[in-house]
Every structure is written in structure tokens, then in C-alpha cells.
Structure 1
Amino acid sequence: MTTKGLNMNKSKNKNWMWLTSLPLLALPGAASSQADTSTNGRVLEEVIVTVERRQQSLQDFEGTAVAFSGDQLKILGIQSLTDLSEQTPGVEISNKQGNVEVWIRGIGSSNNTELGDPAAATHLDGVYIPRPAGIGSVFFDIERVEVNVGPQGTLRGRNATAGSVNIVSWEPGLGVLDGTVEFEAGNYDQRMATGMINVPIGDTAAVRLAAYSLDHDSYYNDVGPLELGTAEAADNQGYRAQFLWQPNDNLRVLLAADYVSEEGTGYTGTNFANSLGNGIDPDDIEDPRDVVARGFEPVQDTEHWGVRLKVNYDLGFGEIEYLTSYRDLVYDYSAATPLAPDYPGVFSTLEPLNESLDNWSRFQFITDSESTIHELRFKSPDGERLYYTVGAFYFKEDQKAFLASAGDRGGFFQGAEFNQPDTDAESYSVYGDFTYELTPRSRLTSGLRFTHDEKSRVGVNARYAFALGGFDTNTGNPFGCCMGARVGTEGFEFAGFDRTVYDPDVDGSGEVSSQEFIDFYLDGISRFGERDTLDDIIANGALEGGAANPAACTDTDSTDSLICLEDGTHSFAVPISPDNSITQQDGSMSESFVDWRVRYGYDLSDDILLYGLVATGHKSGGFNDTFKDPEVGTNISPTYDTEKVTMYELGWKTEFDIGSVPARLNGSAFYYDYTDQVFTSILSVEQAIEFNSGQAADPADATPGALVVSFSFNAADSEIYGMQWDGQFQFPYNINLNWTALWLEAEIKDAEDIQDFRFQADVSPDEAVFRPISGNRLPHTPRYQFNAALSQFIATDWGSFDYVLSMGWRDDQFLTIFNSKDFMFPDDPRMRLDDRVEAYWTFDAGVGFTTKNEKLRLEAFVNNIEDEVATAAVIITQFDNTRFFTRPRTYGARLKYFF
């Protein structure tokens, strides 16, 4: 039996071959392929994939999937998972502050907290990745990337209602000693180096080692006077080691380990709230990555590593496979978001400018995830009339999650903290998938999977608000002087998981006193900053009810220390609503569900396949933040139910000749019934209590300083339908054309009113009310999408040339469920609420030359030729319209040596 690694190494010098099947948003195309000879001598490549957990031709797959080879992605300058958005109709992948969100045909999830799970399952070499942060840097020495479209509830399982993404790395090859080294240089001072070596150990074993390094400057530019480093600079490394042992034809053991480090400046996005609030049209902003930065340079520190063991044994009547894996992710990100993009008059809106630039309000995310997987599968032999896969799957994840903010120069908000040191998830399932050949030309497939999911969490949520000030003898007002305080400046550190107190009610009285509130806040700070004043205010100030020093407080210089701390002067730190601002967390959920699929396939001829498919997928329900219900006197964690998607699909796949031109034309029509869709609102605790009890939540109940929570609930049923086509033409002179087109409708059909979380209840109570969303379009669903790629291979006496030109078009789309609606001013909507992405084109190109001895290859690429700035994700809140973008135009050249 030839291994994948051996097959790759034997054909490694024929890099031009992939150009004949370049998919680039079309269904054909992958890393491993075989020739299907046409009558005129030219061929359409047969693409081999493992979308159904066994090898098969993509043209024989009765469903919709997309596959890209690693070389295909590389020659167009594609660096990570998020870049696939521009290459695959129906797939939207974005990086939102380090969280990778995958949306497939409008189904996805933006709940990136420890309570949330993705709706599209990401896999690395078959291993489920629950938190895909840092996964972009595994894009080295990979064979292919497969995207399964539609719910994959039976074979792929957990949280695959949208589909699944599987990144497949090259495995070791037996009996082969070879390797590659590669260097790349490009704009933004990009430097990339990769290397691979495959070493045989006797005839039955082999080791494959691969390494990767990528550095580039920020895609942002600070146009302000501070000239700070800004987001999206990269300093990434990756390593992978694999050992294959195959002592005979029956046993195959693969042990692998990988490590990824990402230490750049992360993803802050650009906050448009300032510019939009001042009447600036986003289209008038020349480059939204030109920003006015403040505070400090963002700092990202991500480490993601794992080990896996896969054992295959051929029993003669079938093959048994055992897969186990352990993965560890630590994602740590600290940043101060830029003040605004660069636009005419921006600095006048930031006055006093020095004070705005010296605002160190900051946030920090920490995700610490440890996950373990065990999967046992039995697969019957191929070629039998009945062939099947049965298996059992177990998943466990232990998480720590921390999110905190510090509000510098604030008079009534000094920060928030969500500290969850123990979040556990556990899932197990059993499944079976059976295909029976009814006749030599027809097949019936049925699959069933039972899943049980559990999740629990303990921790604390807190919002810190102090009324701060100094005594003003001129007015007699104890808070009349110098409102505000400094916190978060140079040297500031949150305690994070080193916090020692999680219950602020230390004396057990049932209420949190002002002193307990302040003590709890201080326990969450590891170190105050060099120019912080809040610590001095707390140390020297009077608590609520304390005596005020009547000495004059005359220092009103608000550009330095915003609080009077002269000798003999008291400042005030009065906690606001201490008992309602800190809530311990203790939530859990447990539920089970069944997924199934039924499919019928019929070969109308040797070159025409027809199929019909019904498949389901579930995404587990969950629980909300814990809060105290005063009517029952106990803490509650309201739950929400499991989402369900049922997909109906009819499709065909055909190959034929148009004259002397081999051609391929595939198509499908689909309909999704999407029920119990979960939406999330931002509510005060008081509002959440009302909503949970079935009342209309009153924004007036959101008192200043009260805890604001993320509240998820089953709000809507939606429907998604459309058609997808793809085709390929193999013209003379080795010219190949691929294309894909998608028509997609996605509408919220029946929904409860949802709180307009673009407004904060304690700031805009008249607008933070529940609004209708029925009839709105689902986010991330351009109605029309199109991609095409033209490629050619040219042989010469010195070697071979190849090139590819690709193009893509995306129709208008929305990025939130509110579809840019302004309920208060429907005829003149405020631009701050704008979440619309206008239609846009993308163009990419790559060219390569391989020497005749096939030892050296030179490539050049341009990605995003027209430098299109497209918004990939958006966060809209009371004070934010923060947008995250696709990559700008990048170009470069690389040299690869084979040995």
C-alpha cells in the first residue's frame, strides 16, 4: 500500500500538475489527483478527498465540498484560514480580536466567550479544534484544506451545523529521503521561511520534520503624533514532527506533534464611531488602517500545541482506527483600541488631543483551553455492496477564561472583569453511516449519531464603577473638583487567574459592603501603573459616609492627574451599587440529541451523477451568566435550547466534451430549515431578570454602574435556500478555466423581538429596547457570489512556467442581524449603525518557474491586486462601530529548493 506521504514525495517535482485542477472557489481541485483521460488526449483531473472519512473522488461525492491544495493556496499568497473567504463562495471567515469565526451559507456563531462554541467545526488532521485561535499558522507543509458545506451531524459530529473545515498536513513517506527549503520576501517587510525533511528509518518507518517562520510589519499605520506600533504585525513560528511506523500491510501507526506561536500585535480593528458620529461617510475614508493610536502598542501572545496518535489496523473484513489527541491553547491579548481612523478634521474631534492620546483605557483577553479527544472507528472495505463506518467519539475541554478592561480617566467607570477559572465541557457520541448499493447504478445512504453534551462554569463577573472626585470649597460640593482618575498606565497589570478572592462577601452577611467592593477590586489588580492615581484615591479617599476634608481642592489641571491629591486633601472613591455589580458564576447544562441523514445517488451514465440528500445538524444549547433573582432570593443561570439545522439538497455532477474541450458542470439546489436560532443581547442584570421571567425588559432598570451581562436566548427560525454551480474547461495549450457561482437567500422568518444591543441601557434607555427582526437578512450572506480562475502550464527547454489569475465577486451583505436599520430615525439612519458591506471584486495572481532538473522553483504572487478594503466583521455597541478587514494588497517572491 502506498502511503500519502510516499505518493507526495514521488510526485513532488511535478508542481505544475495542480494548475490543471485549480479550484479557487470551484468544487474541483485538491492536492492529490489522478488523470481521467479524455478522447482528445487532454484530461480533467480527478480530485481525491476524505470529506466522508474515507478516500473518494470529489466528482463521485454526493454533496457539496471544496478542496484546495497547499501549493494552490501558496502561489496566490494565501497565508491563513481567514484568506479562504475570498476564494470560496458561501464561506465567510474572519478574525475578530483573535477569534476565528467561520460562517458557511449564513450559519455561524459570534459567541466567542467560554460559553460559546463555533457552528462550523475546524479540524487539524482529523482532530476537532474547539478554539481555533492561532490555527492560521499551521498553514505550512500541508497537503490540502477541505471545506464540507452543510450540516455534518453524522460523520463530523460536534458543532458542525454549518459544515466543517479540515486542514490536512503531509504525512511521512516510507522509503524516501528528501526535503525542501523555501524563502519568501514581500511588502510590509514580510519574511517567510519554511523547511521540511523526510527521513526513512529502514523500510517500515519514517520521520517528517517541518518548520515555519513568518514576520511582517503592521497592516495599520499610526498617523497620530505618538507613532505607536499598531495591529496586525506578525511574528509567528510553527513546528511539526511526525513519526510513521508501518511494519506490515495491516498495521499503521502515526505519532505527531505540532507547536505554533503567534506574538504580533493582534487584531484591534478600527473604531469608526468617532468618524461616523461626526458625519463622515466610510467611503470618504481613504484607508481605514490609517488610524490615530493611543496608549500603547497592542501585545499578542498565543501558544497553541498538540500531540496526536492515530493507529490503523486492517482486520481483513474491515479497518479499525483509533485517534487520540491532546491540545493546549493559551491566547493572551492586551490592547488599547485606536481612537479613530484618519479623516479630514479628525484631530479637532479629539480635543483635548494630548489627553485623548494619553488615554490608557485598555482590555485584556486570556483563553486557556486544554482539550482531549478519543475516537474509535470501524470502516468496512471499499468495493462491497454494503459499506459503512461506525464509531464512538469522546471530547473533554477544560477552560480558563479572563476578560478585563480598565477605564482610564473615568469618573464613573473604572472597568469590568469576567474571570472564569474553571469552565468544563464534555461530549460523547456514537454513530453509524451505511451505504447500500441498490443496483450497479444506484445507492442509498443512511446515517445516525447520538450525542450527549455537558458544560459547567464557575467564576465571577464584575463591573467596577466609583464616583470619584475631590472637595470643592467654592461650591461646597464634595465631588465638585477634578472628576476622574488614572488607571491602566505604564506598568499596569491585571491579576488574571492569580486572583485570590472570588466571593466579595467575605463576612458572609449576604450583602457586599463598600469596603468589600473595593477590596475585591484591588484583589483583581496585580500592579497599578506608574502614573495611575486610582490606587492613591482609594488609599487616601473617604468611602461612602466618610468625612470629607474641607481643604481647598484647587488643582484643576486635567491633562495630568485628574484628581486632587495635595497634602491635606481627600478624594472620594464611592462604589456605585456594589451589591449589584459583582456576581459569582455557577452555571451548567446537559442535553442529548440525535442527528441523521438520508441520501440517494444515481448514475444516469458513467459521466452523470444525480443525488438527493437530507441531513441534520445540532449545536448544543447552553446557559447564561449567573445573576440573583430578588423574587426567589437565589442565583439563576437561564438556559437556552439546542439549535437545529435540516438541509435538503438536490444535485448533479457531469463530465463531457464540448468539441475537443473536456468540460465539467456540477450544480445543486439547497434549502435549510434553521430552527431555535440563538441570538445574544447585552442586558443589565435587572433587565435579564425581567426577560427571563417573561416580562418586557425595561431599560430604565439599568442603573448606572450595575452589572451588564451577555444574554443568549432562542429567538428565531430562519430559512436559507439557493443554488450553486461550478464548472471546468480544459482548453488546448494546457489552459484551464475553473469557475463557481452561488445564489443565496437567507431570511429570518419568525422571530421574537430582540433587544437592540447596539445601545447600552444605562446610557440610551429609549433605544436599548426590544425591536422586531423578522424579515431581516442573516449576516454574512451575499446574495450573489462568483469566482473564476485561469491557469496554464508551459513547458520549455529550460524548465516549465505556470501561472494563475483568479477573480472573485461578492454582492452586498450585512454583518449584524439589524441590517443597518435605525429604528429611531428610519428615514435618516445614523451611520454609526451601519453594518452593510457593499459589493466588491477581488483579483489575485501568481506565476512560477521550475528548472528542468526540478531542483529549484521560483514564484511571485500578488494577493488583492486592487487593494480592496473589505469589512470582514464588525462590533457595534453604544460607543463602537469597530470593523475588521480582509488583508490589504500583498505581494512578494519566494525561492524553493528541493533535495
Structure 2
Amino acid sequence: MNRGIWKRSMVLALLSTCAAAPALAQEAPADQSAAKPAAAAQPKDGPGDIIVTANRREQNLQDVSGVVQALGSDQLRKDGIVELRQLQQAVPGLSIANQEGNVEIFIRGVGSANNTELGDPGAAPHLNGTYIPRPRGLGLMFYDLERVEVNKGPQGTLYGRNALAGTLNIITAKPKFDSYSGYIQAEFGNRNSYAAEGAVNIPIASNFAIRAAGYYVNRDYGFRNVSTGAPAIGLKPAGLEENYAGRLSMLWEPTSRLTISVIGDYGKETGTGYPGANIYSAVEATGLTASDLDLRRVVYRGLQGKMTNELWGVQGKIAYDFDKVGMELTGSYRSVDFNQVNASSDGIDYPGRNLATEQYDNFSGNFWQTKSQSEVFELRVFAKKGQRFRWNLGAFYFNEDQQVGYLALADRGYCCYSGTEFTMPDVRGKSHAFYADGTYDVADRLRVLGGIRYTEESKSRYGIGGNWALTLGGANYACCLATRLGTEGFVPALLSRPNFDVSKINTPQGMAQFLIQGIASPGARDTLINQIGAIANGTNPAGNCFTRPDIDNGFVTCPTNTNGGFSYANLTIPGQQVGSAAFKYADWRLGFEYDLSTGHMVYGKVSTGHKAGGFNDSFNGSTVPETYRPEKLIVYEVGSRNTFDVMGRRAVFNLTGFYYDYKDQVFQDLTCINLDTTQTPNVCNGYSLVNRNIGASRLFGAEAEFRVALPYHFSVDVNAAYLDTRITNGEVADVRALDNSAGGKSPLISLVGNQLPLASKVNVSAHIAQWIDVGRGRFDWQVLANYRSAYYLTQFNNKDVVFLNGTRQTALQAGFPDRQPGFVTLNLGAGYQVNNVRIEAWASNLLNVQASQKELAGSALNIRFLNDARTYGARLRLTF
């Protein structure tokens, strides 16, 4: 740590500690030597207590030494936060994006964008405290809630697996024994959206109750199809959704000591999928940045986007009270079945683009298939409340089986290349851990805390990965005749392939058979089977040569002396993919808490977290590293939590300073996958992105929270975060300058000094609300405003692009601007309630700000994934 950073970190620490000084002077007892501070008089009104489970036990938020934000279901609904991504409008430092159906969570710039079977989340999602390994469809759980907790900073000791950045815990409403109750609600909004939600709580006996809840929504994300030619003009844009879900919860207390709970849920997402918008061609043509373009006006062509995601799960918990000791055994099974055909596009509309001249008959596209079956079990023994030493001992087990498929097709090419496939029918991951954690009262005012967790993990996969390629020669061996694949009605085989063993396929007939086996249903105008079917069945090793207007490239004709075949037919199929990795690591935390007086605590702690390591794609003869190690994060944190009196009303002010030491950071880097060692010097004929532990970063910052009630039933809640991030080590290939003529090689670029992606320096969320008695009922309104300063979308930080030949361009000139300017989002809500009937109106992202939340950069690719467009509407809610 250099001296400047150390000084700034100490300033933040001192500010955190000194924040309690005014309150201390006001409330310190006269006898400073007293063993315990005298209880202060409670203010009449103000923010109520918030109960959280950040330390795996229920605590008042003000007693937790750390930064946890908890939002109740009523507040979320009234503020217009109706889907998971909108949660970031209320939680500074939180970023949530949806790429091809996968939810990516970043907290304070830390997370993971690798959502394939090779990666894991960097911020751990949980449902009712149980780890969710694949957060596809996580938004389907966002209904009938009790609250949502965002725990910032590594939680490696208590929450373990992949809690590097922190945790997001969705806590659902539980059954109650004492009342038959529930609610139903219906809502309508702009963009042709409508939704319904309801729940009923049924007490079967004095110690047994069930709760049933359901949810339905039909909405779109605001994209528009601006294509003007057939067949693309009739395509539905990306982001259309029709989702539904249900949940059944059971709670039983057969004795005063024993509690049994079971929760089962089912959900299904359908619609047109979640691809991003490629702005590369628009930027190149206009010189405009994303902020000056309308990223929702998309030029669709070819395939109709389609997505289905079916998921279900069961959670169970058995808890027993042994007087001073409690025990919990939890178990969970979750299943995900995701399929998506990307809504294909030729980028976005832009000034000067002639949409009438576009080639809409182009079916290049991407197909995704992901299945996951996971089991999570945990046994925890803990000390009950009221003891001087409050401890947790636990054992954790995780097992996941995945089957994944991906196929990318290039249609209407002049020749040679048809697609890329990575399909893995057998992907396995296991993890088990043991942990101990506790808090000990050294004195009435002083507590020390500590914990340790030991983890072992293993991963493996088997399948295929690589290119589909056809090089079909014409007359006089001219190159090459074109191939079409993926036209109307095309369905890939992916996981339904009859064979995944390519180790012994080395003949043209075997390769042709394998390529055709990758097609479950050919497209209406596909040519591949017609061209190589004769090779596959052995009737003509030269295949079947023919031309057609849509594949006629104008300079290659069929030969006349090959029995109707090609002059040559070179076929390429994917290679065998076999990978495995195993790791062991430990996480720990140490800290203290000290009560300056009643309602005023200072604390300091050091804690660690890890994100799982893994392995890379395998290519024969390549220099790709087989595995990459787990990422590691050490955080130093100091802060204060304060409750005091403002004009006779309770107020809360909390301040925290932190410093992150981020090691073994994984960056994706280009590595040679086809090295020709017969030449001197050796020549690389192909590159691929791989994961490497080549990075390190440091982060420091501060977070503040202020909550107070004011006269006339006003309330104010402000959360602010300051974050400074710097990459301190890392050199990668610059994929923005990828040179296909050099086999896919790219120049190296240093990342040192760059900021982490998605890390705004300043992020402030302010919530103002008021209620007023009007007539027979009560009227309330609220405003949620969020300011987020500028941030970068990639690790390249808008740096110049220097090509292999030495040519230099700015990121904008090269088509890769990646800076998202600062912006403000504004949510409004209002409601009127009479007895058990409530009418509400809301607006989310009222200013209709268009912000990029993720970017994929590559050769001619600058794909943006966006925030939700403006939505507003009204709902009717009936409680009983």
C-alpha cells in the first residue's frame, strides 16, 4: 500500500470513528467508569428497527458491524422496484445486469462476468439464506417478499462459496400461525404491461400453517424493431416477457423446541430473450458515443428471438432448541432449464443509415441451452441469544450437475465458415466446507469477533468445443462455394446429439456425419445437408455441388468432372473438451465492536473472501493454461453505527471506511490455440479467450447512511458511497485490435492504473416519503432518486487502440467507447388506502435514462446490455 492510499484510508477510518462524537457528548453517562452505559430515553418517533441476518442470526441492523442494506417488500413496491435489476436504484454500489438470461451481480466493482459453465458468480445470490449457484431466473423469485438484504464486502466465513463481493439474499414471506390473511393485487402499466400477484396464509392448527403465493407479469423492455424489409419487419423485438411463478410454504412446530419448514417454488419465463444491442457499426459510421444514440432502436433480421426458462426448487429446514444451543439442518434442490434463440440484429439504427438497403435475409444467430441441477446442504450448531459467547459451527456441502450447449452460426458468408459449438453434456461441480465463527463479550462495552472457514472444491466437464467449418471447392479448385445454415425453422441438436466422442473421428465421412448430427431440424433454406449429405452416407466423397441465387457469390462455379461434387471438401468439426480442477482455501475474519454509549458503536475488522477457480477450454497443442486459481479478497474495514435524537425523533447515522486488497484477479486474455511448430519462428494460426490469474487491484472508499423522521410525517433515508478503484497489475491482449489476418492475434495492453468496470466513484440514493390522513383513509407519496457518477464498462477504460501495425486510434474512432457518463434515475410513487383497499401509482426511471450496464467487446463487437426503460402504471391491492 503506498503512502497516499494509506493516508486516505486512515482519514476515512477516522471519519468513521469520529462520526459518533457529537452523539457521545450528548448521551455519555456522567460516570465514565460505569461498566455499562446508561440507557438513553427513546425518541418518540423515527426509523424503526430493521432486522437482518447478515451474521446468520437475527440482529438489529444497528448492531451489525458492517454495511448491510435491507429493503422491505412494501417499500420496494411503493418505490416502483418491481424487478430485480431495479434494486440497484436503491442500493449504492450495487450493479445488476442481465446477459442472455444470466443475472450478473457486482458490489463495489467486484463480481464476475463469466456466466458460462467455466465461471461462477462473484457476488453470491441466496434465497432464504440458501446459496443459488446459477442465478438465471433469479427475478422470478422477486414476489411475496419479506425483505431483500444486500451484504457488502466479502462474506467468506459465514456465507462461503463465491461471496467474494458480498451477498444478495431474497427472503420470502413466511407462514404465520395466528391469522388467516393474504392479499391480491392487479396492475397495469405502459409498454402494454400488466401483472397480478397474490398470497394467502392459512393456519391449519395452532402450530401448523401454510402460505401460497403466485405471480404473473407480461411486459417488454422497450426495444423497437426498426427493420423495414421482409421477413425482418414482422420480428418481435428482444425483451418481451411473459412470466409466471408460484410458491408454497409450510411451517410446523410439533413441539416448543422443534421447527420444520418446507418451501417449494416453480417459475417459468417465456418471451423473446435478453440479448444486447451491438453499437459498433453505429459508432464507426457516426462518431457518436452510446449516450448520443438510441440503443433501443434495433435493426433486427433473420431469427425470431425466443426464450424459455423453467425452474423449480425445494428448500427445507429443521431447527431444534437445546436451551442454550440451537441446531439447524437445511437442504435445497434446484433445477434450471434455460433455452434461448438470440434475437439477431445488424446493430442499431443511427443518423444516415439507409434501412431500405439492408440485407434482412441473414440468419446468423446464437443458440443457448443450459440445464442445472444443484443440491445444497448445511448443518449449523450455534449458541442461543443472551450468552456471553455467541458462536456458530457449521458444515456445508454443494453439488451441481450441468449440461450446457452453445451454437453460433454465420449465415450468408461468401465461403468457408459456418459456426462455433461448445456443448457439454457432463459438467460437475462440488464443494464442501467447515466453519467456525463467534462473538465474545470481553466486557460490557467491548466485543471481539472472529471466524474461519476451510473449503475444498472440484470441477470437471466433458464435451465438445470448437469450429464448424466447410471449405468447398469449385471449378478449377477455386475457393469457395457458400453454405447457408440456420434459416427459418432451424433447430440445433445441442444436448440431444447422439454422440460427443470425437476422439476417433478422422475421416471426411465421419466429420460430415458429426456435423449433420448437430442439426435436430434443418432450416427451410439451409444447404449444408444437401451439400455434404453424400459425404456422410458414402455415396459421393466429393459431396453435392450446386448453386442457388442466395448462395451464389458470383465468382465460383461447380466443377464438371467430380460426379456432381466439389473439387475438394475440407470439413472441420469441434474438438474434444475435457477439463478438471480442484482447489483448497481458507477464509477468516477478525474484528472488534465497542459501545461508546447507548446507540453508538465503533468497530473494526479484517475479513476475506474467495471466488471459485476453474479450468479453460482445451485445445490440442495449445499453450492455454489448464486451470485458473480462485480469486482472493482481503478487506480492512472500520466504522461506526449511531442512533440519536433529532427534535425528539429517532435518527440513524452510520459511516464506514474500507480498503480492499484484491489478488489473483482473473482477466480474460487471448492465447494461442493452434501453434504451428514446423515453422521457425513458430506461427500461431488461431487464438481464443481464456481465463488467467494475471490481475491485482486495490479499492478503498466509504459509505454513509442517514435515516430520520421529520415533522408532518416526513421521512428521509439517504445512502451514499464513495469508491476509488485501481488495477495494480495486469497485461492482456487488446481484443479491440484483434487481427484475423494474423490468426486472431492482438497486441498487448497494460491495465495498470485503470479503474475496475462498473465502479462509479460516487453513488447516492435518496428516499423521501410522507403520509397524510385524508378523509377516511391515508395518502402517502415517496420519491427515490439515485445518482451514479461515470464508470467504465470494460477494463480497457476508453484507452486508445494500438493495432499490430502500430496504427493508433481513439476508442471512439475504433468503435469501442466504453465510458458510461453519470446519470440520475428517478422513481415516484403514491398511494391511498382505506381500510384494506389500496390504490397505487408508480413510475420507475421516470426520466427514461438509457444506461449501459455491461459491454462485450471483441472483433467488430460492442454489445451493450441496458437498464430498464421508463415504466409507470397503477395497481389495486386488497389485503385480508
* 1:696-751 Cα deviation digits (max 9, x unpaired): 998x6135xxxx54311110111010111111221101101111111101111122
TM-superposed deviation, 1:347: 2.5
Equivalents in 1 of 2:40, 2:255: separation in Å? 33
Any conservation in 2 of the 1:121–1:128 contact (CA below 8 Å)?
A: yes
Q: Closer, same or farther in 2 for the Cα pair 1:337/1:682, shift >3 Å?
A: farther
Q: Do the aligned partners of residues 819 and 230 (structure 1) sit closer, same or farther apart at CA in structure 2, a change above 3 Å counting?
A: same
Summarize deviations over 1:173-231 as a string: whole Å, max 9, x none: 00311121110000111110111111111211011000000001452111112131011
The answer to whether the Cα contact below 8 Å between 1:456 and 1:586 also exists between their aligned partners in 2 is: yes
2:775 is aligned with 1:797 = yes
Deviations 1:400-443 (A, max 9, x none): 01111122112121001101000111110111111100110110
C-alpha change, 1:229 and 1:630, in structure 2 (3 Å) is: closer
- Partner of residue 381, structure 1: 384
3-state SS of 2:674 partner? helix
Residue deviations 1:255-283, cap 9 Å, x none?
A: 11001100011111111111122134135
SS across alignment from 1:531: coil
Deviation track 1:591-634 (CA, whole Å, cap 9, x = no partner) reads 11110000100000102110001000111221111222389xxx
Aligned: 1:47 with 2:50: yes
What secondary structure, in the 3-state scheme, does the structure 1 residue paired with 2:815 have?
helix
CA contact (8 A) 1:542 1:548 kept: no
Aligned partner letter, 1:478: A
Alignment of 1:641 onto 2:632: no
* 2:199 maps to 1:196: yes
The one of 583, 596, 613 equivalent to 1:604 is 596
Q: Name the SS for the 2:49 alignment partner.
A: strand
What do the CA deviations read for 1:775-822 (whole angstroms, capped 9, x no partner)? 111111011111111101112331111111011111111111111222
User: Which deviates more, 308-317 or 622-631?
Assistant: 622-631
The 1:686/1:798 distance shift into structure 2, 3 A limit, reads same
What is the deviation of 1:535?
1.8
Measured in 1, the distance between the counterparts of 2:470 and 2:237 equals 31
Matched, 1:526 2:526: no
Partner residue of 2:860? 879
Distance 1:554 1:371 in 2: 49
- In 1: Cα distance, 2:307 partner to 2:596 partner: 55
CA distance in 2, matches of 1:726, 1:550: 71
Q: Does 1:809 align with 2:824?
A: no
Correspondence for 2:673 among 685, 702, 705: 685
Question: Following the alignment from structure 1 to structure 2, what is the Cα–Cα distance between the partners of residues 598 and 573?
Answer: 72
CA distance in 1, matches of 2:184, 2:462: 48
Aligned partner of 1:71 in structure 2 is 74
Determine whether 1:769 maps to 2:747.
Answer: yes
- Residues 429-486 of structure 1: CA deviation (Å, up to 9, x unaligned): 1111111001101100010111110111111112012224543xxxx55336xx4222
Q: Match for 1:238 among 229, 237, 245?
A: 245
Is the CA contact 1:541–1:572 (under 8 Å) kept in the aligned structure 2?
Answer: no
CA distance in 2 between partners of 1:284 and 1:788 (Å): 25
Q: What amino acid is the match of 2:517? A: D
Could you tell me which residue of structure 1 aligns to residue 732 of structure 2? 754
2:307 aligned residue (297, 300, 303) = 300
Identity of counterpart residues, as a percentage? 35
Indicate conservation of the 8 Å contact 1:380/1:387, yes or no: yes
The yes-or-no answer on 1:515 pairing with 2:516 is no
**1:519, CA displacement in angstroms?**
2.1
User: Which letter does structure 2 place at the counterpart of 1:669?
Assistant: G
The answer (yes or no) to whether the contact 2:46–2:708 under 8 Å persists in 1 is no
Larger mean CA deviation between 519-528 and 366-375 belongs to: 519-528
Tell me which of 429, 436, 446 is aligned to 1:432. 436
Cα 1:548–1:676 shift into 2, 3 Å: closer
- 1:517 to partner: Cα distance: 2.4
For residue 584 of structure 1, what is the aligned residue in structure 2?
A: 576
Q: Is the 8 A contact 1:387 1:435 kept in 2?
A: yes
User: CA separation in 1, counterparts of 2:629 and 2:448?
Assistant: 32
Q: What do residues 655-697 of structure 1 show as CA deviations (whole Å, max 9, x unaligned)?
A: 223444543211011000000101112444126x99xxxxx99
Structure 2 gaps of 5+ residues are 1-38
Tell me the SS of whatever aligns to 2:378.
Answer: strand
Which deviations, in whole Å up to 9, do the C-alpha atoms of 1:482-513 show, x marking residues without a partner?
A: x4222101111111111122233446xxxx33
Q: Which residue among 709, 725, 732 is the counterpart of 2:711?
A: 732
Q: 1:841 aligns with which of 800, 824, 827?
A: 824
Kept in 2: contact 1:537–1:573 (CA 8 A):
no
Which residue number in structure 1 is paired with residue 494 of structure 2? Answer: 496
Distance 1:562 1:357 in 2: 23
1:722 and 2:701 matched? yes
Distance 1:855 1:260 in 2: 29
Distance 1:565 1:665 in 2: 79
Matched, 1:113 2:91: no
The answer to whether the 8 Å contact 2:478/2:556 transfers is no
Partner of 1:595: 587
- Is 1:449 paired with 2:453? yes
Deviation, structure 1 residue 142: 0.5
Change (3 A) 1:499 1:53: same
The one of 71, 93, 97 aligned to 1:94? 97
Structure 2 letter corresponding to 1:809: Y
**8 Å contact from structure 1 (residues 467, 573) kept in 2:** no
Structure 1 counterpart SS, 2:110: coil
Q: What is the CA–CA distance in structure 2 between the aligned matches of 1:269 and 1:717, rounded to whole Å?
A: 29
Q: Which residue of 2 aligns with 1:627?
A: 619
What corresponds to 2:283 in structure 1?
Answer: 276
| Partner of residue 851, structure 2 | 870
- Secondary structure of the 1:674 match is strand
Amino acid at match of 2:117: E
Question: For the aligned residues, what is the CA RMSD?
Answer: 2.8
Q: Is the 8 A contact 2:852 2:864 kept in 1?
A: yes
Unaligned runs of 5+ in 1: 1-35, 691-695
Give, in angstroms, the shift of residue 560 of structure 1: 11
Q: CA deviation at 1:73?
A: 1.3
SS of match in other structure, 2:235:
coil
**In structure 2, distance between residues paired with 1:663 and 1:389:** 32
Aligned to 1:7: none
Which of 705, 717, 722 is the equivalent residue of 1:743? 722
The residue aligned with 2:529 is 535
Give TM-score scaled by structure 2 length. 0.90
Q: Given that residues 297 and 336 in structure 1 are in contact (C-alpha distance below 8 angstroms), is that contact kept between their aligned partners in structure 2?
A: yes
CA distance in 2: counterparts of 1:782 and 1:91, whole angstroms: 10
**Does the aligned pair in 2 maintain the 1:210–1:239 contact within 8 Å?**
yes
Deviates more, 1:562-571 or 1:88-97: 562-571
The TM-score with structure 1 as length reference comes to 0.88
Please give the alpha-carbon distance, in whole angstroms, between the structure 2 residues aligned to 1:592 and 1:781. Answer: 30
How many pairs align?
828
Aligned residue identity for 1:430: F
SS at match of 1:465: strand
Q: Aligned-pair distance for 1:567?
A: 11
Letter in 2 for 1:843: L
Alignment of 1:284-683 (within 5 A): 285-347=292-354, 351=357, 353=358, 356-410=359-413, 411-468=415-472, 470-471=474-475, 476=476, 478-479=478-479, 483-506=481-504, 512-539=506-533, 570=564, 572=566, 578=572, 582-629=574-621, 638-660=626-648, 662-683=650-671
Displacement of 1:47 after TM fit? 0.8
Partner of 1:169: 172
Question: Hey, what's the Cα distance between the residues in 1 that align with 2:514 and 2:410?
Answer: 17
Aligned to 1:44, the other structure's residue is in SS state coil
